Structure 1
Amino acid sequence: MDFLTICVVLFVLTVVVAAVRLGQGDCDLTLQWFEKFGKSAAELKGKIVWITGASSGIGEGLAYELAAAGCRLVLSARREDLLEEVKKKCCVTGNLREDDILVLPLDLLAYDTHSNAVETVIKYFKKIDILVNNAGRSQRAMCEDTSLSIDKQVLELNFLGAVSVTKAVLPQFRRQGHGHFVVTSSLAGKLGAPGLGSYSSSKHALQGWFDCLRIEAFTKNILVTMVCPGSVYSQSLMHAFTGKENESLGVEMKPGEHRMSTDRCSHLIGVAIANQVDEVWVAVQPELTYVYLFQYLPGIARWLGKRLGQKRVQAVQQGKSNLHA
């Protein structure tokens, strides 16, 4: 075979292998590589990691993952009693002392308290190595059925809350000469889906703001990792906004649903943090394949989305709110 033929064969083989890996995987190809050949979360041993939204869901799972890796933790959420339970489990999981974990109640909407919260962490641990902006709240309702006040509340909590805590931590990262922001976005931050208008817009906003920060802070040794999960088991639908004021969705996820486990999601996030990846996609199929299609063939993806998405539109209109994402 001549050189050109060899190149073509190698290219075809690479595409085939990538397609097979993608079809069998539950995360993007880059993260699959790092999971197999890169650093594990154990490389983070001794790091001071602050996790918001640590009382349940992905935040709770990540707390256990990082505790097992030997990290020292700051656990934040609104409910202190739940955080104390997570702390106890972390001490067992990671064989940590009680003073290795600081429970710090935090309201993301109380923006004026965030600087004081940073001071509390610094006084306790002397530094912050990693901030995980995980706290947030989901939402389910058609765009036309969602009041503007709900749009505003979702953006203030999911977007401005994370931005506020980040801005409070940034000066400390600059002073110590390093830092790592990890942000729980969503596949809904990469594409849109019926019934997720407010939620998706808040995640798109996170993607845009932190993409800017990543470039601005690069020369200051400050990193940004965006984590985009798909469907993951959690209590997020119980507390999700709807389209109306003072109403929660109140839907409980069932074990038989096609979702990723919290443990698996947390493990993959730990790998992403350890390898300092800029952005990762963590999702079951066919969600993972669709986000690849949307990223690299957006015209085709949007054409399919408008047509195949009508089934989901009808489901949302009929009140079937336990949909994925």
Structure 2
Amino acid sequence: MFFTVIGVGVFCYGVFYSILLCLLDCDLQLAFYEKFGKSVRRLQGKVVFITGASSGIGEHTAIALAKHGIKLVLTARRQAELERVKQICITSSGGKLTNNDVLVLPMDLLDFNSHKKVFDLAVQHFGQIDILFNNAGRSQRANWEHIDMTVDKELFDLDVFSVINLTRIAIKYFSTKGYGHVAVNSSIAGVVGAPYSGTYCGAKHAIHGYYNSLRTEKLGTDLQLTVSVICPGPTFSNFLQESFTGTAGQKYGNTTVSTDRRMTGERCGQLCAVTLANKINECWLGVFPLIPFVYVAVYFPVIRDIVLKVFGPKRLFKLRDSKDIDLSEVQAI
């Protein structure tokens, strides 16, 4: 009787857990913290440094933070777009932020020598930086064996090495304070390898390796460092259009349409803000059926392998991009 009760309890728990995964657009930990955790407004008075803030997830995260009066450093290459985002942030704050509370600093992340200068300007302006959110990056669509090594190097420079360089600058600064928070916008592709994005998946897996190592290394030290890895799935932005291919200097060029199964930029930005407020180590974001698939892929590898064989790479690609793959578009020219 005792074991029967336990068995029924485990079965009911499994059913309830599975239903939740099908209803949510993020993992269960993040969903719990959004409902019962710290409000984003707890970050009021803090300063968040955001890269890639001129569009997409970076822009919407900035707006989500601004609504609660969090001071912002907005960086990207396009100053005009940064100024646009700044005005939206000030308006969205409902009077909580003034012109002086949102700092625009144009920066090319591939100019590694400029990173410290820009970061120091932000510290000089506000007197502090509390959170670094490495959001900038580009995706990729390409047939694995046709990728030119130049593309591998260019994508890693942007998506990995620029992130690591800026993060090291931030950690040296945080070490003088004794505490800090570094976050990075990774991808579900950094958790589960996606087809036709070999270099991008490699870059995001590298980010996980760097950041997980950093988190472990700082445990029990004098530096109280929070390390967050945020993993969005497909999101409405210009990310797909700007993606690398297998050929250096070429952009993928495909755009999203309103019927695609993607998370909105607003929703993704809100969940990023919740992650920062609650100091979550790692989180997964995505519309159904992405989150259940990731749980299966991570926790049930045998089932994952069966699913991958049944669906095949082309159907998985369609799940990701809401369109069929055209190999002529992704192989090197």
TM range (shorter): over 0.9
State the shift of 1:5 in Å. 3.8
Q: Deviations over 1:73-100 (max 9, x none)?
A: 0000011111011001100001310000
Find the counterpart in structure 2 of residue 115 from structure 1: 116
Distance 1:159 1:306 in 2: 30
Give the Cα–Cα distance (whole angstroms) in 2 for the partners of residues 9 and 311 of structure 1: 39
When the two chains are superposed, the root-mean-square deviation of aligned CA atoms in Å is: 1.6
1:98-113 matches, within 5 Å, as 98-113=99-114
Matched, 1:171 2:172: yes
- Paired amino acid for 2:135: N
Between the aligned partners of 2:297 and 2:160, the Cα distance in structure 1 is: 23
Amino acid at match of 1:298: P
What are the Cα deviations for residues 56-85 of structure 1, in whole angstroms up to 9, with x where unaligned?
000000010000021000000011111011
Matches within 5 A, 1:1-325: 3-94=2-93, 95=95, 96-218=97-219, 219=221, 220-312=223-315, 315-319=324-328
User: Does the aligned pair in 2 maintain the 1:159–1:205 contact within 8 Å?
Assistant: yes
Calculate the TM-score normalised by the size of structure 2.
0.92
What residue ranges of structure 1 are gaps of 5+ in the alignment? none
* TM-aligned CA deviation for residue 264 of structure 1: 0.8
Give the Å deviation of 1:109. Answer: 1.0
CA–CA distance in structure 1, aligned partners of residues 310 and 8 of structure 2 = 36
Q: Any conservation in 1 of the 2:133–2:184 contact (CA below 8 Å)?
A: yes
Distance 2:32 2:18 in 1: 14
TM-superposed deviation, 1:317 = 4.3
- For structure 2, the residue ranges without an aligned partner over 5 or more in a row are 319-323
Give the drift of 1:9: 3.1
Equivalent residue pairs, number: 320
Give the TM-score normalised by the residue count of structure 1: 0.94
Cα distance in 2 between the residues matched to 1:176 and 1:199: 34
Amino acid at match of 1:275: N
How big is each residue's C-alpha offset from its partner over 1:13-56, in whole Å with a ceiling of 9 and x where there is no partner?
22221111111111001111111111121111111000000000
Q: Please give the secondary structure, in 2, of the residue aligned with 1:240.
A: coil
The answer on whether the counterparts of 2:18 and 2:292 sit within 8 Å (CA) in structure 1 is: no
